[in-house]
Chains A and B, each alone.
Chain A
C-alpha cells in the first residue's frame, strides 16, 4: 500500500480531536463551541476512515458518512439555537446560559 501508514492518519485524527475538545472546553462563544464540536467529529471521522483503509473494510467509511449526516443536522439545530438566542439579544456566552442549574 502506498502513502503514509495508518499511524499518521491516527496522529492527525487525534490532533484534530484534541484541538476540538480544547475548543469546546475553553471557548465561551457558542458559535466557536459548535465549530470545535465539528472539528472533533471530523477527527473521529478521519480515524474511522484510516482504520477502514487499513483493514480493507468499507464499514468505517459508511459509518463516517453517517456521522457526517448527523453532524450536518446537528449544525442546523445548533445554528438555529444560536440565531434564536441572538435575536433575543442574549449575550452569546455559554457561561451565562446557566438557567438549567439544579
Chain B
C-alpha cells in the first residue's frame, strides 16, 4: 500500500525530469500529455493508498516508509520517508486530483505558447513539491516541500518572463514567502534544541510554555506567509500575473492552503499554545473581512477571485485555529473544487476575449458562452455557500465551531457571518458584471468562441468535471447529521471544539440568509441596476489601495533599506572602498615598477647580491653568536 504513496510522489517528478531532459525531442503537446498523465498516475496512487487505508481499522491507519537516512548528526537523524495517514491521504487526493484536472486544462489554455514544455515541467515539479509537502514523514521533509512549492510558485508566477510586472510579482511572492520559511526554520531550530528531533510525534511532547509559544508562532509565520493571510497577504493578488491555470492550481486550490494543512498537521503544538492558536483564528477572521472588502472594488477578474481565495483561506484558518480541524480541511477540499472551477471558467472568459482581464470591458457574456456562464454560476453559488452547493456544507460548520469558543469565539463568529455577506456581494458583482447585461462594444469586437478541438475539449471537459464536483462535492459531510470527513481525520487531529446542534443550525440559517442577501444586493446594484452603487470616496480609495498595506511595507521596510543603502554608498563605499581600491591598485603598480628595476638581467649582479647577502648574514650570525 505504501507503494501507492511512492508512485503518487514520484510520477510527477519523473514527468518533470523527462520533459526537462527530453527538450525538443518531445513535442509541445506531448509535454502536456506527459505531465497530465503523470498527475493522473499520481491520483491513482493516492486512490490506491486511500482504499488501502480504508480497509484498515481506525487506529491502524498510519504508516511510515523510509527510503534511507537523509540527514544525521549527533543524536539527530531524519529519514527520507513518506508518511501515509488519513490527513496526508486526504491532501494527496485533493492535490493530485485537482492538479490532474488543472494540468489537463492547461493543455488547452497554454496551447501555442512558445515555451509550453517549460510550463509543463514546472507544473509537474509543483505537483511533486506539493505532494512532498503533504507526504513528508517528518518536519524537515515538510519544510523541503514547503520551500519547493515556493520555488515552483515563483517560477510559474514569473513564467512570462518578458513581462516586467510578472517578474516583479514573482519576486514579491518569493520574498514574502521567504519570511515565513525563515520563521518556520527558526521554530524547527528550537525544536531540535529542545526535543532533539523533527518527527511529528515530538510536537505533542512536554515543552515549557515559552518554547511551545515560540514554536507555534514560528509555524504560524510560515502558514500565514504561504496562505497569504494578514500581515503577509500582499503577494497573492500580484501572483495573478502568472498563467490562469497556475492561479487555479497554486494560488487557489493547493499551495496557498498549505498553511491550513500545516496547522492541522502540527495541531499538537498549537494546542499547547492556545494563545497562538487564537491568534491564527483571529488573523483568519481579519483576513476574510479585509479581503472580502477589497474584492468589492477590484476590476481585474482574476484579482477578484484571488481576494476571494484569501478570504476563504481566512475561514479555513478560523476553523483550524479554533481546533475544528476536520471542518477546516473539508472547506479546503470544497474550496479547491469551486475556486479552481472559478479560475478556470475565468480562464475561458479571458481566452475568449483575447487575454482581456478588466471586468469593466466585459458584460453580456451569458448569451455568448452559456456553458461557461453555468459553470461560473455553480462556482459562485458554491463559493457563497448556497444550498446544495459545496461551500454550503463546509463553511457553516466552521462558523458553528466558532460559537463554542467563548466570547472571543463569538467575535470571530460575527466576523465570519459578515464575511458571508461580503462573499455574496463581491462574487455576484463579478458574475453580473461579466455575464449579464448587453455585450459591450469590446466584447462584440474581440469575442471568439472555443472550438471543438483539443484546446476546447481540454478546457471545457475539465471545467465540467469541476462543476460537478463543486455542485455535489460537499454532500459527503453535513455536520448536523453525518460527518465522514471528521471521522476520517479523527485519528490524526481530534477536534477540540464541539458545537451544539442549535449552534450548527443557527449558523447554517444565518450564513445562508446573509449570503443570499449579499447576492440580492449585488443583483440590485449590478444585475438589474435599480440600486445605485454607493460612492464613498474615502472608502473607495482605501479599498482600491488594499488598505495601504503595500504602501505601509514600502515605507517601513523598503524605503529605510534603500535610504540606508544610499547612505552607506555615499558615506562609506565611495570614499573608502571604491577610492581605496583604486589607490591600492596604483600603489601596487608603482611599487612593482620600483622592484622591476632590480631585475637587470645580468647574471653576475644576481650572484653578487646573493653572495653579499650571505656574507652579511654570516657576519650577523657570528656577531650575535
- Selected from A25, A98, A99, A101, the residue in CB contact (under 8 A) with B607 is A25
- Selected from B595, B601, B611, the residue in CB contact (under 8 A) with A101 is B601
Report chain B residues within 8 Å CB of A1: none
- Asked whether any CB of chain B lies closer than 8 Å to the CB of A41, the reply is no
- Selected from B598, B600, B601, B608, the residue in CB contact (under 8 A) with A25 is B608
Report chain A residues within 8 Å CB of B599: 100-102
Q: Evaluate contact between A101 and B604: CB separation under 8 angstroms.
A: no
B574 CB, nearest partner CB in chain A, Å: 35
- Selected from A21, A24, A26, A99, the residue in CB contact (under 8 A) with B601 is A99
Q: Evaluate contact between B600 and A101: CB separation under 8 angstroms.
A: yes
Docked complex Cα distance between A98 and B602 (Å): 5
- Asked whether any CB of chain A lies closer than 8 Å to the CB of B623, the reply is no
Residues of B561-608 at the interface with A, using a CB-CB cut-off of 8 Å, are 595-604, 607-608
Q: Evaluate contact between A98 and B611: CB separation under 8 angstroms.
A: no
Q: Evaluate contact between B611 and A21: CB separation under 8 angstroms.
A: yes
- Asked whether any CB of chain B lies closer than 8 Å to the CB of A83, the reply is no
A1 CB, nearest partner CB in chain B, Å: 26
- Selected from A94, A99, A100, the residue in CB contact (under 8 A) with B604 is A94
A96 CB, nearest partner CB in chain B, Å: 10
On chain A, which size bracket covers the interface?
Answer: 10 to 19
Residues of A79-97 at the interface with B, using a CB-CB cut-off of 8 Å, are 94-95, 97
- Asked whether any CB of chain B lies closer than 8 Å to the CB of A48, the reply is no
Residues of B331-385 at the interface with A, using a CB-CB cut-off of 8 Å, are none
Report chain A residues within 8 Å CB of B596: 102
Q: Evaluate contact between B603 and A94: CB separation under 8 angstroms.
A: yes
- Asked whether any CB of chain B lies closer than 8 Å to the CB of A39, the reply is no
A8 CB, nearest partner CB in chain B, Å: 21
- Asked whether any CB of chain B lies closer than 8 Å to the CB of A33, the reply is yes
Report chain B residues within 8 Å CB of A33: 603
Report chain A residues within 8 Å CB of B600: 98, 101-102
Docked complex Cα distance between A102 and B611 (Å): 21
Docked complex Cα distance between A28 and B595 (Å): 25
Docked complex Cα distance between A101 and B605 (Å): 12
Q: Evaluate contact between B611 and A94: CB separation under 8 angstroms.
A: no
Docked complex Cα distance between A100 and B599 (Å): 7
Report chain A residues within 8 Å CB of B602: 94-95, 98, 101
Q: Evaluate contact between A25 and B611: CB separation under 8 angstroms.
A: yes
Docked complex Cα distance between A26 and B605 (Å): 10
B603's nearest neighbour on chain A, judged by CB, is: A94
Report chain A residues within 8 Å CB of B595: 102
Docked complex Cα distance between A95 and B596 (Å): 18
On chain B, which size bracket covers the interface?
Answer: 10 to 19
Report chain B residues within 8 Å CB of A25: 604, 607-608, 611
Report chain B residues within 8 Å CB of A102: 595-601
A37's nearest neighbour on chain B, judged by CB, is: B607
Report chain B residues within 8 Å CB of A24: 604, 607, 611
Report chain B residues within 8 Å CB of A94: 602-604
Docked complex Cα distance between A100 and B603 (Å): 10
Docked complex Cα distance between A26 and B603 (Å): 11
Contact with B along A54-79 (1 / 0, CB 8 A): 00000000000000000000000000
Docked complex Cα distance between A100 and B216 (Å): 72
Docked complex Cα distance between A101 and B602 (Å): 8
B215 CB, nearest partner CB in chain A, Å: 66
Docked complex Cα distance between A60 and B601 (Å): 36
A31 CB, nearest partner CB in chain B, Å: 13
Docked complex Cα distance between A28 and B604 (Å): 8
Report chain A residues within 8 Å CB of B603: 33, 94-95, 97
B615's nearest neighbour on chain A, judged by CB, is: A21
Docked complex Cα distance between A95 and B607 (Å): 12
A97's nearest neighbour on chain B, judged by CB, is: B603
Docked complex Cα distance between A24 and B605 (Å): 10
Report chain B residues within 8 Å CB of A97: 601, 603
Report chain B residues within 8 Å CB of A100: 599, 601
A39 CB, nearest partner CB in chain B, Å: 14
Docked complex Cα distance between A33 and B603 (Å): 10
Report chain B residues within 8 Å CB of A95: 602-604
Docked complex Cα distance between A8 and B599 (Å): 40
Docked complex Cα distance between A98 and B601 (Å): 4
B597's nearest neighbour on chain A, judged by CB, is: A102
Residues of B602-625 at the interface with A, using a CB-CB cut-off of 8 Å, are 602-604, 607-608, 611
Docked complex Cα distance between A28 and B608 (Å): 13
Report chain A residues within 8 Å CB of B601: 97-102
A95's nearest neighbour on chain B, judged by CB, is: B602
A27's nearest neighbour on chain B, judged by CB, is: B604
Docked complex Cα distance between A99 and B603 (Å): 11
A45 CB, nearest partner CB in chain B, Å: 17
A24's nearest neighbour on chain B, judged by CB, is: B607
A89 CB, nearest partner CB in chain B, Å: 20
Report chain B residues within 8 Å CB of A26: 604
Docked complex Cα distance between A17 and B135 (Å): 83
Report chain A residues within 8 Å CB of B611: 21, 24-25
A68 CB, nearest partner CB in chain B, Å: 21
A21's nearest neighbour on chain B, judged by CB, is: B611
Docked complex Cα distance between A25 and B595 (Å): 23
B598 CB, nearest partner CB in chain A, Å: 7
A30 CB, nearest partner CB in chain B, Å: 8
A62 CB, nearest partner CB in chain B, Å: 24
B596's nearest neighbour on chain A, judged by CB, is: A102
B590 CB, nearest partner CB in chain A, Å: 14
Contacts A21-B607, A33-B603, A94-B604 given; 20 further ones with Cβ under 8 A?
A: A24-B604, A24-B607, A24-B611, A25-B607, A28-B604, A94-B603, A95-B602, A95-B603, A95-B604, A97-B601, A97-B603, A98-B600, A100-B599, A101-B601, A102-B595, A102-B596, A102-B597, A102-B599, A102-B600, A102-B601
Shortest 9 CB-CB contacts between residues of A and residues of B: A102-B599, A98-B601, A101-B601, A102-B596, A94-B603, A100-B601, A24-B607, A98-B602, A25-B607
29 sampled A-B residue pairs with Cβ under 8 A: A21-B607, A21-B611, A24-B604, A24-B607, A24-B611, A25-B604, A25-B607, A25-B608, A25-B611, A28-B604, A94-B602, A94-B603, A94-B604, A95-B602, A95-B603, A97-B601, A98-B601, A98-B602, A99-B601, A100-B599, A100-B601, A101-B599, A101-B601, A102-B595, A102-B596, A102-B597, A102-B598, A102-B600, A102-B601
